[in-house]
Structure 1
Amino acid sequence: MNRWPTPARAQEYMQQFFISRDGAVWRLFGRKRQLMDEAALMESVESTASRAAAIEDVDRLVLDIRAGRIEVFVLADSTGELLRIYIL
């Protein structure tokens, strides 16, 4: 018997948050800061490049949230746990 959740069941275990637009932007700025700190500690070029791409994705997401184009998004925190964020 498989004890690990399947991808379909993994959605059931995802934490969900309902926050304001400003709260979502601040949460993303915090994640961006974590990614920048992780990139500064990386030694390999590939890892640094992937962190740079993730930082660009966060920046794009911030712009979309501020413009009101996004109401729900999924964010991985520093531990890799997925969070579903609903913008009020």
Structure 2
Amino acid sequence: MQIDKDTVAKIAHLARLEVSEQETQELVGDMNKILDFMAKLNEVDTSNVEPLVYMTDEVNVLRPDVVKQEITHEEALLNAPEQDGKHFLVAKVIDKK
């Protein structure tokens, strides 16, 4: 498979990216190099290679989830830069339009 300008344009549209003509040319070259490399990987004989599931043989060691220190609602609000006595006050991030 070869990547052309139309394919790059479609990918850019799907990714909601604006790509200039020069960037399109560069991406065509880069993407074709990636596909060529992948084709070379497909030539490697992996018939005697076991599939890799985990990168290491280490087993996850989990500790019990135990509450070690508990703070009160009032103590938590003491650390707030702004609060109203019951809640943390933060800047409005959603604008109604």
TM-score scaled by structure 2?
A: 0.29
* Larger RCO (CA under 8 A, 6+ residues apart): 1
Structure number with the higher strand fraction is: 1
Which one has the largest radius of gyration? 2
Q: If each structure's helix is expressed as a fraction of its own residues, which one has the higher value?
A: 1
